């Protein structure tokens, strides 16, 4: 089947060479039994490619199932994938077939495969190598004939270095990698996608379709689109419903494009796909580097105070404001932790002797900072872990474990 025919059959919009390359690789690998790993950012449409592979393969008449590994609790994922025997754990009132048994002779798509627990990864590796698995609570090995297609939006090599993913499983899954480009690498497709979504929503809500002027088109093409195609679709729907005018100009469009890097927490931005995943350690390092810079600025100001006291000059107002700003920044870190304290008996001048300026070294404990950031994120989102985890740049499962470790429940 030609690439254009595949696009029409599966509703793929775009003419980007990177997109065409991904479709071509999926088309070529489909007739084989090779395991495929699809990687790309969240919202790029990775879920379409396992369907292409399945429907162009000899298994097209067999079952197909998509499993979101990140959405299944760690305690039940083995049961979901491999099944369980009656009485194998509390609540197991009957035996149950797992996905690998149900999808025999078909294809199973493991989305967010990097979120699988390490113990489950061992079982998955056995299925890939020998086609064998055991149900939870059983000692009898069963055979299955299933093709596995995995997908991830994180850097698995990074997860391997952090001991969160098995290297042997990675090489077994990554026999043929397929890269799905983010929307910012498909600039020529952005306006096409907007028009397609606008047309669909016009038909759905029985209203005229949106039209973009030239300035609005440029803004669409130059925006970073961290949420990729999913974000573009959502914004198109918002504008279709809320705006009365069907002509979308730059001013109207800008209102619906959230600004990037507006987080108050020191979370690093995920770069282009293929760069290292943001880890909890990266968050701490970023925080400490910022603190070190502020401490160096403070040290310089203190030396200025010494020089000015020796000549009897007053501290410049700009230096006083900068000193106060640094102090307030440290004050907001954690009201219960040691911080830099600056005492002055005058509101107009800071020309008291240097002995009266007390500097208490701040704790640089990574564990303490991590606990503080998690506590602040949970407070900000009123205990909603999903949003707090997104703010911190970690998975919800990792956040849940950290909450238990620090007894923040």
pLDDT per position as a tens digit, 82-95: 999 999 888 888 99
DSSP state of 58: T
State how far the Cα of 181 lies from the Cα of 82, in Å rounded to an integer. Answer: 33
Superfamily classification of domain 3-181: P-loop containing nucleotide triphosphate hydrolases (3.40.50.300)
Chain region(s) in the chain for CATH 3.40.50.300: 3-181
pLDDT tens digits, 213-238: 999 999 999 999 999 999 999 999 99
Burial class for 385, CB neighbours closer than 10 Å (0-12, 13-18, 19+): middle
85-89, 99-103, 248-252: which range is least confident on average?
85-89
At the second CATH level, the architecture of 184-254 is Orthogonal Bundle (1.10)
The reply to whether the predicted model has a pTM over 0.75 is no
pLDDT tens digits, 303-336: 666 555 545 455 555 555 666 666 555 555 444 4
Residues 6+ apart with CB under 8 A from 251: none
Contact 58, 106 (CB under 8 A): no
Chain region(s) in the chain for CATH 1.10.8.60: 184-254
Residues 6+ apart with CB under 8 A from 365: none
107-111, 153-157, 184-188, 396-400: which range is least confident on average?
396-400
Q: What is the pLDDT of residue 305?
A: 64
Does the pLDDT at position 346 exceed 90?
no
State how far the Cα of 236 lies from the Cα of 13, in Å rounded to an integer. Answer: 15
Q: How far is CA 222 from CA 41, 199, 211, 215, 219, in A?
A: 18, 22, 18, 11, 5
Q: How far is CA 287 from CA 169, 202, 326, in A?
A: 34, 46, 14
Does the pLDDT at position 291 exceed 60?
yes
């Amino acid at each position: 089947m030609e690439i254009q025919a595949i696009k029409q059959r599966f509703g793929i919009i775009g003419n980007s060479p990177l997109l065409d390359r991904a479709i071509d690789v999926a088309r070529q690998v489909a007739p084989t039994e090779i395991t495929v790993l699809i990687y790309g950012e969240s919202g790029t449409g990775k879920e379409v490619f396992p369907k292409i592979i399945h429907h162009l393969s000899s298994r097209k008449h067999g079952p197909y199932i998509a499993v979101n590994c990140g959405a299944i609790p760690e305690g039940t994922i083995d049961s979901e994938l491999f099944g369980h025997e009656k009485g194998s754990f509390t609540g197991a009132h009957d035996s149950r077939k797992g996905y690998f048994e149900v999808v025999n002779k078909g294809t199973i798509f493991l989305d967010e495969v990097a979120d699988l627990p390490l113990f489950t990864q061992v079982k998955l590796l056995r299925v890939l190598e020998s086609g064998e698995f055991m149900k939870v609570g059983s000692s009898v090995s069963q055979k299955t004939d299933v093709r596995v297609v995995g997908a991830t939006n994180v850097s698995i090599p990074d997860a391997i270095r952090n001991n969160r993913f098995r290297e042997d499983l990675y090489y077994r899954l990554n026999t043929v990698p397929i890269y799905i480009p983010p929307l910012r690498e498909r600039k020529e497709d952005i306006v096409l996608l907007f028009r397609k979504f606008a047309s669909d929503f016009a038909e759905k809500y029985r209203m005229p379709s949106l039209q973009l002027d030239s300035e609005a088109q440029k803004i669409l093409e130059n925006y970073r689109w961290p949420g990729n195609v999913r974000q573009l679709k959502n914004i198109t729907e918002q504008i279709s419903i809320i705006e009365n005018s069907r002509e979308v100009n730059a001013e109207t469009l800008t209102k619906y494009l959230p600004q990037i890097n507006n987080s108050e927490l020191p979370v690093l931005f995920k770069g282009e796909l293929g760069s290292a995943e943001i880890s909890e350690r990266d968050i701490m390092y970023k925080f400490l580097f910022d603190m070190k810079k502020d401490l160096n600025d403070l040290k310089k100001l203190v030396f200025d105070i010494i020089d000015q006291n020796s000549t009897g000059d007053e501290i410049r107002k700009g230096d006083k404001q900068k000193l106060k700003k640094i102090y307030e920044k440290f004050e907001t870190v954690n009201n219960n932790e040691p911080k830099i304290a600056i005492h002055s008996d005058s509101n107009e001048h800071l020309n008291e002797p240097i002995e009266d300026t007390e500097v208490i070294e701040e704790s640089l404990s990574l564990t303490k900072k991590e606990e503080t950031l998690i506590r602040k994120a949970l407070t900000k989102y009123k205990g909603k872990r999903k949003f707090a985890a997104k703010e911190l740049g970690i998975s919800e499962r990792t956040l849940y474990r950290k909450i238990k470790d620090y007894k923040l429940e």
